[in-house]
Amino acid sequence: MLTNKHILILGGDARQIEIIDKLNALDAHLSLVGFDQLNQNFVGAIKVNMDEIRPSDVDSIILPVSGTDDEGHVEATFSSQTIKLTKEWLGETPQYCTIYSGISTPYLDQVSLEAGREVVKLFERDDVAIYNSIPTVEGSIMMVIQHTDITIHGANVIILGLGRTGLSLVRAFSALGASVKVGVRRPEHLARAFEMGVESFYIKDLASQVQDAEICINTIPAMVLTSQVLSHMPASSFILDVASLPGGTDFRYAKKRGIKAIITPGLPGLVAPKTAGRIIANVLSELLLEKFSEEEKRNDD
Ligand code: NAP
């Protein structure tokens, strides 16, 4: 249990509600900053302003998945207040205070380093990325249906990257009856594609593989769909870029060629905020329980 552990939830969106529910059930002492416009109250969690929190009392801080912006501001869907995490404020928290965030940002890296506080980046974890691939795939299917006038069944679909998201996409689009071809850069991924019964090719040969592509889904966070590649693609193709911003597509050139290309960050939060919240809440609660039980053991020794 997290009894008497003071956890500060700093901003966020609907996903944080799942986190609040989960940590509340574990009996944590929760302070919620950035939830003043949320029409829901939680027994055992109090809505407060940042200046009402004594940093020295905070055991852990939970940030939104986006962390902070370049000036330290924290996104808060349920508040119009400006919330900022500063180095000075962080420096007053206990040394063992850990910050949990989806991703880090240069600002967060800098202030946490200067204040000597650890930042745990949940989205870098394999388990979170694999669980998140489930709503990402469902969101991708939704996007493809909305933006094309053909069925996925029977369509020529190219998927770029066979990482945690790419693997789930290949499996789902194949199961829907698409003719799937996957672009990879490692021989072991060619072997995996073979085992899964889908065609594959090296990403360096992409330009020679796209002539009959009807749908192309990119998961590679690097420029791969260059103007040179796009010049070989039919103008009627649809590109869904799910890689982190700025994606891996030359969107300017795609537009010029008349290829519909969209980038869709945050699909899990968009199509399944409750599930996306539960994924984070489950991992977070395990990490917090582990952290505090280790700390108690150390204190006992
Ligand atoms: P991942 O497991 O690291 O997979 C990325 C894949 O891209 C790997 O197969 C990697 O190959 C390949 N790759 C990276 N750089 C490459 C390059 N320069 N050339 C060729 N291949 C390259 O990551 P993931 O968890 O699947 O996520 C993929 C991307 O989607 C990330 O940017 C992530 O932030 C994003 N994402 C977006 C959403 C959304 O809602 N839009 C949801 C989930 C994830 P190697 O294995 O050889 O390194």
| pLDDT for the residue 206 | 98
Average pLDDT, the chain: 95
Q: What's the chain's Rg over C-alpha atoms?
A: 22
**Residue 296: pLDDT above 80?**
no
* Model confidence band, residue 43 (pLDDT cutoffs 50, 70, 90): confident
**Residue 298: pLDDT above 80?**
no
Cβ–ligand 1 contact at 121 (below 6 Å): no
Share of residues in the chain with pLDDT > 90 (%):
91
Buried b / exposed e over 222-256, threshold 16 CB at 10 Å, is: eebbeeebbeebeeebbbbbbbeeebbbbbebbee
Cβ–ligand 1 contact at 226 (below 6 Å): no
**Residue 294: pLDDT above 90?**
no
| pLDDT for the residue 136 | 97
Please give the Cα distance from 108 to 216 (Å, whole number). Answer: 34
Nearest to 274 by CA among 6, 18, 12: 18
| pLDDT for the residue 89 | 95
Nearest to 250 by CA among 258, 261, 242: 261
164 close to 130: Cβ distance less than 8 angstroms: yes
Report the nearest-CA residue for atom 27 of ligand 1.
165
Distance in Å, CA 294 to ligand 1 centroid: 33
Cβ–ligand 1 contact at 234 (below 6 Å): no
Cβ–ligand 1 contact at 200 (below 6 Å): no
**Residue 99: pLDDT above 90?**
yes
Mutate to test the pocket of ligand 1, among 103, 162, 219 (most ligand atoms within 8 A of CB): 219
Cβ–ligand 1 contact at 265 (below 6 Å): yes
Buried b / exposed e over 77-111, threshold 16 CB at 10 Å, is: ebbeeebebeeebbeebeeebbbbbbbbbebbeeb
| pLDDT for the residue 23 | 95
Report the nearest-CA residue for atom 4 of ligand 1.
163
φ, ψ dihedrals at 110, nearest 5°: -65, -50
Cβ–ligand 1 contact at 163 (below 6 Å): yes
Cβ–ligand 1 contact at 225 (below 6 Å): no
Q: Please, what are the domains in the chain?
A: 6-124+273-300 (3.40.50.720), 127-265 (3.40.50.720)
| pLDDT for the residue 87 | 94
* Model confidence band, residue 29 (pLDDT cutoffs 50, 70, 90): very high
